Amino acid sequence: MRELIDKRYELTAMISSGGMGAVWRGYDIVLDRPVAIKRIRVDQVETGELAKEFTERFRREARVTARIRHHGVPQVYDAVLDASFENVYLVMELIDGVTLRDYLDPDAQLPLSWVAAVTAQIATVLSHAHALPVVHRDLKPDNVLLTRDGSVKVIDFGIAAILDQSAAKITRTGQQIGTLRYMSPERIHDHPVTPRSDLYSLGCLMHEMVVGRPLFEHDSPYEVQRMHIEEAPLGLREFRDDVPVELERLVLALVAKDPRDRPADAYAVYERLLPFLPAPGAPIPPGELYLPGLPDPTRIFRRPNAPLETSQVEPTRVSTAPAQPTAPLTPLHLRTAIDTALHRYEELVEADRFAQAADALVAVIDNAADARGADHVDVLELRRKAAGAWVLGGEYRRARTELESLAEAYRRTEGRFSESAWEMRSMAASCRMQIGDIDGGFAVMNQLLSDIVAAGGDCSEAALEMRLSLGELYFDAGASEEARRILEPLRDDLLVLRGPDDPLSAQVSVLLDEL
């Protein structure tokens, strides 16, 4: 039996999942129409006072979002908060489209007219939102959809705001690289967010559309933060000779460190894009049919308000889920399937397509478990990699569930002192913190430290590393006294064991000096 929300909305199939929840295809059984249902699980609401505060904030943000009356924002039809305060549902217009992420490829540069067309449409949406004012806060390729007629839809307005105020800020856990790529310096500093913060993110999107790579790119999220705050960005003409000077100047203005140096508003951005947009009736220039099968964002400028063409009847989003085998796989075929999935996984992770990378492994995990056993080392390694991809992609709730299950599996197969189990528990605790369960995450980490100390003493290599990790987490969460409680005895032990010149000793000393 399919799940029914609020006795009205039927969940039929999951469309996507991410760090804040999942989007489902659903049906409004009262009005007899398909809808999209954004399901947000909220773990940080643990008391009546928090529940009341969250309810008021959720309703306020949902109402404000619903006031954005523009075709570039999916309409909000309803907002549902269940009695347990664990599940939040936004019922919205169902959009048939593909994400801007699908257009980004470092080996295939987008036509500049496409970049201008996408950016101009986003700027139009932002102008309507900022007038209320509503600031998006999380503008990124995954939150921009292109429909089959080439029009842009900006999704997830207000979702980050609903959760931000009740979740402690943790900026050093290294788990937000995807969002950090588009985050303004003032957001990194946790300063007040303004409409010009969205303009900075828009400049990051423009740079990536033109170049094929993010404005600032590094393996370390801390380094990405530093670059946004300190490093001067390269102009577009450093990467492409065909970029007009004025387009380069616009992007550099958008990504200015000081918000006051950015364009005044989204309308000003649109005005500066007008020279680069195609005129009504203009044909597609030769060589600009980029990525056949994906919507052309210039179409709404070349053919404004054009009738629906017969060729547009087919949806833009096509399911690529692999079919289940009709017979058990032979050992040779299974090995080939696993190797193929792992190879595809590595390719997708390298391209920052983390959710798809996890799906590539999920497609073979059940077959591998059936053939080799659920606790076989190869099966656990596949699950471990899939969970890691979910973490990288910001799907923290999904990752947490899998990591906790993996911890139990490693404990069964390797014993109570399994280092793999410890690692899974630590990662799961970090996921808890990312979704707002700060106290729960610290409880898991403290229990984990106790278990590690019981296994090898408080000065074992694993214990020293865990004590440092826990101290850093308390430091980042602003819990100064708890951080000192962990870090001061750790420094004393390290000075005896390794001396003051040891890198670990120096790292702890720096943290204590900052405290």
Specify whether 138 is catalytic: yes
CA distance 240 to 238: 6
C-alpha to C-alpha distance for 114 and 381, rounded to whole angstroms: 41
List residues bridging with 147 in a β-sheet: 97
Structure tokens at 33: 């129409």
Q: Is 167 exposed, middle or buried (0-12, 13-18, 19+ CB in 10 A)?
A: middle
Helix H or strand E encompassing 99: strand 97-99
- Strands in 60-136 per DSSP E: 76-81, 87-92, 97-99
Give the DSSP H/E element, type plus range, for residue 498. none
Instruction: Give me the residues paired with residue 79 across strands.
Output: 90
Q: Which two tokens stand for residue 46?
A: 């643990």
Residue of 138, 149, 156, 359 with catalytic role: 138
Contact in structure between 295 and 149 (CB atoms under 8 Å): yes
Dihedral of the alpha carbons of 317, 115, 212, 242, in degrees to the nearest 10: 140
Specify whether the CB–CB gap between 138 and 159 falls below 8 A: yes
Residues 6 or more apart in contact with residue 117 via CB below 8 angstroms = 150, 277, 278, 297, 298, 300, 301
Using CA atoms, how far apart are residues 297 and 444, in angstroms rounded to an integer?
Answer: 48
Alpha helices in 146-232 (DSSP H): 159-164, 177-180, 185-188, 195-211, 221-230
Beta bridge partners of 154: 144
On whether the CB atoms of residues 427 and 391 are closer than 8 A, the answer is yes
- 505/278 Cα distance (integer angstroms): 60
The size of the chain, in residues, is: 515
Angle, CA 73 vertex, CA 70 and CA 75 arms, to 5°: 90
Q: What is d(CA 218, CA 130) in angstroms, rounded to the nearest whole number?
A: 31
Query: Tokens standing for 345?
Result: 């996984």
The residues annotated with a catalytic role in the active site are 138
